[in-house]
A = this chain, B = another copy of it.
Amino acid sequence: MKSITLKAPYVIYIGDEHREAYAKTGVGLVQWRPELCCGQIRHSSDAFDMDIPDMTVADAVAAGAGSIVIGTAPVGGTVPDSWMPVLKEAAAAGLDVVAGLHSHLNDVPELVEAANKGGSQLIDVRVPPVELPIGTGKKRSGKRLLTVGTDCALGKKYTALQLDKDMRAAGLNVDFRATGQTGIMIAGNGIPLDAVVADFIHGAAEILSPDNDDDHWDVIEGQGGIFHPGYAAVSHGLLVGSQPDAFVVCHHAHREFISGWDGFPLRSIGEVIERTIEIGELTNPDIRCVGISVNTKHLEAQERQGYLSGLADKYGLPCVDPMITGTGDIVSNL
**Given the contacts A137-B261, A137-B263, A198-B198, A232 and B227 also touching, CB distance less than 8 Å:** no
A262 shortest CB reach to chain B, Å:
10
**Given the contacts A135-B229, A137-B264, A229-B136, A195 and B199 also touching, CB distance less than 8 Å:** yes
A234 near B198: Cβ-Cβ < 8 Å: yes
Residues of B near A210 (CB, < 8 A) are none
Residues of B near A232 (CB, < 8 A) are 202, 236-237, 240, 279, 282
Chain A count of residues within 8 A CB distance of the other chain = 33
**Given the contacts A194-B199, A195-B198, A237 and B233 also touching, CB distance less than 8 Å:** yes
B199 near A197: Cβ-Cβ < 8 Å: no
A195 near B194: Cβ-Cβ < 8 Å: no
B136 near A261: Cβ-Cβ < 8 Å: yes
Does A163 touch B at the CB level, under 8 Å?
A: no
Does A196 touch B at the CB level, under 8 Å?
A: yes
A233 near B198: Cβ-Cβ < 8 Å: yes
B134 near A230: Cβ-Cβ < 8 Å: yes
Mask: chain A, 126-157; 1 = CB below 8 Å from B; 0 = not:
00000000111110000000000000000000
Which of A233, A240, A279 has the largest number of chain B CB atoms within 10 A?
A233
Q: Which of these, B137, B227, B237, contacts A198 with CB under 8 Å?
A: B237
Q: CA A261 – CA B278 in complex, angstroms?
A: 20
**Given the contacts A196-B197, A236-B236, A202 and B227 also touching, CB distance less than 8 Å:** no
Identity of the chain B residue whose Cβ is nearest the Cβ of A230 in the assembled complex: B135
Residues of B near A197 (CB, < 8 A) are 194-198
Q: Which of these, B198, B234, B261, B283, contacts A229 with CB under 8 Å?
A: B283
A234 shortest CB reach to chain B, Å:
5
A230 near B275: Cβ-Cβ < 8 Å: no
Identity of the chain B residue whose Cβ is nearest the Cβ of A199 in the assembled complex: B194
Does A111 touch B at the CB level, under 8 Å?
A: no
Q: CA A199 – CA B278 in complex, angstroms?
A: 23
13 A-B pairs besides A194-B198, A202-B233, A233-B237 with CB distance below 8 A are A137-B230, A137-B264, A138-B263, A193-B198, A195-B198, A197-B198, A198-B198, A198-B233, A199-B230, A199-B234, A202-B229, A233-B233, A236-B237
30 residue pairs from A and B, CB less than 8 Å apart:
A134-B230, A134-B231, A135-B229, A136-B229, A136-B230, A137-B230, A137-B264, A138-B263, A193-B198, A194-B198, A194-B199, A196-B198, A197-B197, A197-B198, A198-B233, A198-B234, A199-B230, A202-B232, A229-B240, A229-B282, A232-B236, A232-B237, A232-B240, A232-B279, A232-B282, A233-B236, A236-B237, A264-B282, A275-B278, A278-B278
Instruction: Please give me the 6 A-B residue pairs with the lowest Cβ-Cβ distance, nearest first.
Output: A137-B229, A233-B237, A135-B230, A194-B199, A236-B236, A201-B233
